Structure formats: C-alpha cells, structure tokens
C-alpha cells in the first residue's frame, strides 16, 4: 500500500484494517509528506511491519531497512491510496526519487490507484491525460467519488470509501470461484412513460442487484448488469447497460442471454405500462374542467418467465434466479410464484418490513426452491445476501456439471 499526501490519508488505517481482516498481508510505504496526514506508527501497528517513508536512511546513501526493490518484488498488488494529482503525474513520468515512486516503478505487480484531490485538479487536462496514459498501461482505478470535498468544494475528487477500495483490491487480485461464468443481473426499477415528462416508477433502489453484480465480479465472473432506474455507481469490473422501461429491459436481457450461464433478476419490473404514451406533455387545459384523467394500462411481458422458457427450450445449462417482492404470506406467495415462473431459485423479500426490501441496506429473505424447500435467512446486509445467494448458485451450477 502506497500512501501519498492527501487529506484522504486519514482513511488509510481503516482500509488497511479491512484488508488485514480479509486475510491479506499488507506493507505500507508513504511519501514524506503523507506522514503529516497519517502516522507511520499507526500503519506499522496495524500491519505488523515497518512503514517506511525514506528511500535512504540517515545522511549517507545507505539503503534503509526497507529496500524498495525487495518490497516491489514482494507485492502481488500495489494499491495507491490516496493517489494525489502529483503522484499520478510522477507515476506517469516514471519518477523514482522517493520510496513510494521508486517502489512503484520497480514493481511488476499490478497497480490499483484510488485518486483523491480537489475537483479542479481532478478535471485539469494534465490530470486527465496522466490518468489516461496510466490506464492505457494497465493501471486500475477505483473512484474518485463525487460529493463534499475536504477543501470546501463540491464535486468529483473524494477518495472512495475503504470498503469500496477493499472490494476493488479483491477484484484486482482475482478470485477464481466464478471464473469462466457470465452472470447477467438486472437491478433497479423500470419507468413506464406516460408522456414525455412523466412516468410510472417504483421504489426499487437497485441496491440488491448491484450487490449481486459486485459480488459476482469479485468472484471472477464476467458480469453484465442491466440497470433500470437507480443512482448507484457501477461496481468495479462490471459491464453496465442502462435501460428505462420494461420493454427496453426485455430487449437488453434477451440480447445478453445467449452468453449468460447465470441470470439473477433482481429488478422491480412494472407489470403494466400506459397503452399509448403521449409524444408531448399532457396539458391540464386540454382536459374538461374537473374531469379525471384515465390511463389505460396494458400488461408488460414477464421477462423472467420468458427467460426460463427460452432456457428450457434451448436446453442451455443456465441457472436462473428470480426475486419475489411480497407484502403478506411471503413464503406461500413465493412458492406459487416459482411454480409460475419456472426459475431454479426464488429469493423472497418481505417488502412490508422497514428493514428489508426497497431502499434500505438490509434484507430479510427466504430462498425458495422449485421442490418447495424453503430456507429462511436472518436479517443481513444486501452484500451478505449476495454472498449467500451466489453460494447457492455455485451449488446449482455444480449440479449442472
């Protein structure tokens, strides 16, 4: 882990803790100025290894006990967090005049950078060009995010949260568990146009589907995420296709289906759409005073049922997982739904709970199998539900082999 001198360095101890907790061996090096933001002692304590910040110890040119070549050879992955505008420029130029830049120039390990800086520095053509060159050399990036910056400005430049960087680390190191699989995930709600400015939407935030997509990518799968209405950022390593209506979602899903070995349909698809969306804004003045506006709604295709039918007909070895949003009699309704849809697993959420289902970070689900077997999970974060779900998918895929 290389730390450069940005205020976001205060988050580095948390990132180091997360990586150590996940079982990684971590060694830190800092630029001399980074030591003003985070104490090497903290990083030494958390990693159990010296955290150097000098290329040469003492006055003479005697290598310090932290040999940058040995460190560069030791690493499987070099993470630069935070990566300042200055460090990105120095990396691009191949400078090697301090411990961090010398180590990063000497390493053969892949590089993951988490930029953090003022929005104007981030948007400056020099920074954009430096990053483009680095990405062209195979350097991976995570963030930066948009929001309030420590310098008082608003905009892009905030270092990604430690959990997000840890996820990018896992992705960069590459898990083998789902290598070779193509996972097609749908997430978020659809929007059914009424006219050019109005639409019928639903409360889905997309968090559950995005968590599944992120976890599948972390396990080494190729992931295609068909996203409806959501404000979430694309998880690292995921191919995203944005769609609006259920019909657009159907087209995107059918196009991606032939490659998919696993499909997870977490999207909240509108069951009905306005029969004839107006090509201009509906004006009140065109309606007779006091009259109601009547919208005719026609049924949307059931994408999940269609995928299951196509998969059965083609004989493809594909695992299809559906979700069920239920507000009462959750398990009984889910058992009827899986029989109707024909998928291999149904994840039933109780959307009447305030701590599960729409727009929250947690979920309380039942896994329902076609043979009527029901497994109840405790209240978990959506990330943990995604982990459990993909573990079940792995078993079903093993059954296919």
Q: How far is the CB of 304 from ligand CTP (least distance, A)?
A: 3
SS3 letters for 251-303?
A: HHHHHHHHHCCEEEECCECCCEEECCCCCCCCCHHHCCCCCCCCCCEEECCCH
Q: How far is the CB of 215 from ligand CTP (least distance, A)?
A: 17
Q: Which of 302, 362, 388, 396 binds ligand CTP (CB under 6 A)?
A: 302
Between 161 and 302, whose beta carbon lies closer to ligand CTP?
A: 302
Q: How far is the CB of 342 from ligand CTP (least distance, A)?
A: 11
Answer yes or no whether residue 91 interacts with ligand CTP by CB under 6 A: no
The residue count for binding ligand CTP (CB under 6 A) is 13
Answer yes or no whether residue 303 interacts with ligand CTP by CB under 6 A: yes
Pairwise CA distance, residues 31 & 98, whole Å: 7
Catalytic residue among 28, 78, 151, 343: 151
Between 3 and 246, whose beta carbon lies closer to ligand CTP?
A: 246
Helix (H, G, I), strand (E, B) or coil at 339: helix
Helix, strand and coil content of the chain, in percent to the nearest 5, comes to 40, 20, 40
Q: How far is the CB of 205 from ligand CTP (least distance, A)?
A: 14
Answer yes or no whether residue 325 interacts with ligand CTP by CB under 6 A: yes
Q: Which of 37, 122, 210, 323 binds ligand CTP (CB under 6 A)?
A: 323
- Say if CB 191 and CB 229 are below 8 A apart: yes
Tell me if residue 78 is catalytic.
no
- What single DSSP character describes residue 8? G
Q: Which of 24, 322, 357, 393 binds ligand CTP (CB under 6 A)?
A: 322
Between 169 and 183, whose beta carbon lies closer to ligand CTP?
A: 183
Q: Which residues contact 359 (CB under 8 A, 6 or more apart)?
A: 203, 204, 205, 207
Q: Which residues contact 85 (CB under 8 A, 6 or more apart)?
A: 115, 117, 121, 122, 124, 126, 127, 130
Helix (H, G, I), strand (E, B) or coil at 235: coil
Q: How far is the CB of 11 from ligand CTP (least distance, A)?
A: 36
Query: What's the first-to-final CA gap in the chain, in angstroms?
Result: 40
Sequential DSSP letters for 21-78: HTT-----EE-GGGGGTS-HHHHHHHHSS--B--SEETTTTEE-SS-HHHHHHH-S-E
Answer yes or no whether residue 320 interacts with ligand CTP by CB under 6 A: no
Which range touches ligand CTP (CB under 6 A), out of 168-176, 233-241, 317-325, 384-392?
317-325
Question: If residue 322 lies in a helix (H) or strand (E), which one and from where to where?
Answer: strand 319-326
Between 82 and 322, whose beta carbon lies closer to ligand CTP?
A: 322
Between 15 and 267, whose beta carbon lies closer to ligand CTP?
A: 267
SS3 letters for 194-217?
A: CCCCCEECCCCCCHHHHHHHHHHH
Answer yes or no whether residue 185 interacts with ligand CTP by CB under 6 A: no
Say if strands 297-299 and 380-381 run parallel, antiparallel, or are unpaired.
unpaired
The site string for ligand CTP over 258-277 (x = CB under 6 A, - otherwise) reads: -------x-x-x-x------
Q: Which of 2, 199, 246, 263 binds ligand CTP (CB under 6 A)?
A: 246
Between 177 and 254, whose beta carbon lies closer to ligand CTP?
A: 254
Which range touches ligand CTP (CB under 6 A), out of 60-68, 131-139, 162-170, 323-331?
323-331
Answer yes or no whether residue 304 interacts with ligand CTP by CB under 6 A: yes
Pairwise CA distance, residues 107 & 139, whole Å: 12
Q: How far is the CB of 279 from ligand CTP (least distance, A)?
A: 24
Pairwise CA distance, residues 94 & 105, whole Å: 6
Answer yes or no whether residue 227 interacts with ligand CTP by CB under 6 A: no
- Residues that bind ligand CTP in the complex, under the rule CB under 6 A: 246, 265, 267, 269, 271, 300, 302-304, 322-325
What residues are labeled active site?
151
């Amino acid at each position: 882990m290389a730390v450069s001198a940005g205020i976001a360095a205060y988050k580095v101890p948390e990132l180091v803790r997360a990586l150590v907790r996940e079982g990684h061996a971590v060694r830190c090096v800092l630029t001399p100025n980074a030591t003003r933001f985070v104490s090497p002692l903290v990083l030494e304590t958390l990693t159990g290894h010296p955290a150097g910040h000098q290329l040469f110890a003492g006055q003479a040119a005697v290598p310090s006990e932290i040999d940058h070549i040995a460190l560069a050879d030791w690493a499987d992955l070099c993470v630069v967090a935070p990566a300042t505008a200055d460090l990105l420029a120095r990396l691009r130029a191949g400078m090697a005049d301090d411990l961090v830049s010398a180590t990063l120039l000497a390493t053969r390990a892949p590089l993951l950078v988490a930029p953090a800086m003022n929005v104007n520095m981030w948007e400056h053509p020099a920074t954009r060009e430096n990053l483009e060159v680095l990405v062209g050399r195979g350097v991976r990036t995570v963030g930066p995010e948009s929001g309030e910056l420590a310098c008082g400005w608003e905009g892009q430049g905030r270092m990604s949260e430690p959990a997000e960087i840890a996820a990018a680390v896992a992705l960069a190191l590459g898990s083998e568990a789902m290598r070779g699989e193509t996972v097609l995930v749908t997430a978020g709600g659809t929007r059914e146009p009424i006219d050019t400015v109005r639409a019928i939407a639903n409360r889905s935030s997309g968090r559950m589907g995005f968590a599944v997509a992120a976890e599948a990518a972390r396990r080494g799968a190729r992931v295609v995420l068909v996203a409806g209405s959501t404000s979430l950022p694309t998880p690292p390593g995921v191919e995203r296709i944005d769609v609006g209506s259920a019909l657009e979602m159907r087209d995107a899903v059918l196009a991606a289906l032939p490659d998919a070995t696993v499909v997870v349909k977490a999207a909240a698809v509108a069951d009905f759409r306005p029969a004839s969306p107006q090509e201009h804004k509906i004006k009140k003045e065109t309606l007779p005073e006091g009259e109601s506006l009547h919208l005719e709604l026609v049924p949307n295709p059931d994408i999940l049922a269609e995928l299951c039918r196509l998969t059965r007909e083609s004989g493809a070895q594909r695992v299809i997982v559906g979700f069920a949003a239920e507000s009462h009699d959750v398990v009984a309704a889910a058992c009827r739904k899986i029989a109707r849809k024909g998928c291999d697993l149904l994840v039933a959420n109780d959307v009447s709970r305030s701590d599960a289902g729409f727009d929250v970070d947690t979920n309380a689900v039942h896994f329902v199998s076609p043979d009527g077997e029901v497994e109840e999970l405790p209240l978990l974060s959506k990330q943990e539900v995604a982990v459990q779900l993909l573990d079940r998918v792995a078993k079903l895929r093993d059954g296919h082999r």
